[in-house]
Amino acid sequence: MLENGELIQRAEEDGYDVIVTTDQSMRYQQNLARRKLAIVVLMATAWLRVRHRTAEIRTAVEEVRPGELREVPIRHTG
């Protein structure tokens, strides 16, 4: 299993532009300055909630820039 720093390094080496994760502590663990990729953090792990927010997730993936971390809030839908 790769630690976050290793995962980011390998993803960059393999040509990825964006990592999508539910690891909400990523913001505090990684310095993204000078990174070639971006990170989108989903603020929930439950698929029942995440699946209703695909439009917001897609927008975040399209808009996030290298070296940036963007969080996607995912609220309970009732």
Query: What pLDDT, on a 0 to 100 scale, did the predictor assign at position 75?
Result: 77
Q: CA 7, CA 39: separation in Å to the nearest integer?
A: 12
**pLDDT, averaged across the chain:** 89
User: 36-61, pLDDT tens digit by residue?
Assistant: 999 999 999 999 999 999 999 999 99
For residue 71, name the pLDDT band (cuts at 50, 70, 90).
very high
Is residue 39 a contact partner of residue 21, using CB atoms and an 8 Å limit? yes
Instruction: Break the chain into its structural domains and give their ranges.
Output: 4-72
| pTM for this entry | 0.86
